[in-house]
Amino acid sequence: MKNNKDGSFSLKAELKDMAENTTLHGVPKIISAKRVHMKILWAILFVGLSCYLTFSLYQLFGRTVRRSIGHSIEDMLISCSFEGRKCDKSMFNLFQSNEYGNCFSLEHNFNSVRSGPTYGLWLTLNLEVPEYIKNYASGYGIKLVIHEPETYAFPSDEGMIISSGQETIIGLRMINLKI
């Protein structure tokens, strides 16, 4: 510890010594710069790169944490069928959305030649509403995006919101346009 000439402790001297000898490479540059504009430049660089590092670590570890605390298809999928044939959790792929967390895409090429509610996709989902974080979630439900097979879903930009605790029937007809 640094002491003044009279033997008393000097916080300023201690902080300066720590800053000049730290392994955080930007901090000694801030302290040792002679001109104010260079101190400001080094401080901006140090803070900016620290933010970038923090964001990168969040993206790396945050994804793993979000996956583990988010909804899982095993807990959510109660039943699934298409044209009366059962589908199961193995047909769903997990992907991450920054806005919605764990998202699931049904990866199977379903084609129906008949129309009507009995010939489409039927899902019964447990949305685990008690597990939603109060004051964070704006509502309870799912965001449903219907997209072409082997394409990426964009739930932040597309789809429809379906509230929990209700039955929802959606009728679709595929139209091929030749240009």
Q: Do residue 44 and residue 116 come from a single domain?
A: no
Q: How would you label 64-84 residue by residue, b for 16+ Cβ within 10 Å and e otherwise?
A: eeeeeebbebeebbeebebee
Question: Which among 162, 120, 157, 165 is positioned nearest to 144, based on CA atoms?
Answer: 162
Is residue 114 assigned to a domain? yes
Residue 76 confidence class, pLDDT cut points 50, 70, 90: very high
Is residue 21 assigned to a domain? yes
Domain termination residue (choose one: 19, 47, 68): 68
pLDDT, mean of residues 13-29: 66
Tokens at 165, concatenated: 């605790």
Give the domain range for residue 106. Answer: 71-163
Cβ atoms within 10 Å, residue 140: 13
Beta bridge partners of 92: 106
Confirm if 52 and 83 have CB atoms less than 8 A apart. Answer: no
Tokens at 12, concatenated: 């300023």
Q: Do residue 50 and residue 75 come from a single domain?
A: no
Residue 26 confidence class, pLDDT cut points 50, 70, 90: low
Residues 119-177: tens digit of each pLDDT: 888 899 998 888 777 776 677 888 899 888 788 888 889 989 898 888 888 887 777 88
Is residue 4 assigned to a domain? no
Tokens at 29, concatenated: 């540059």
What is the pTM assigned to this prediction?
0.60
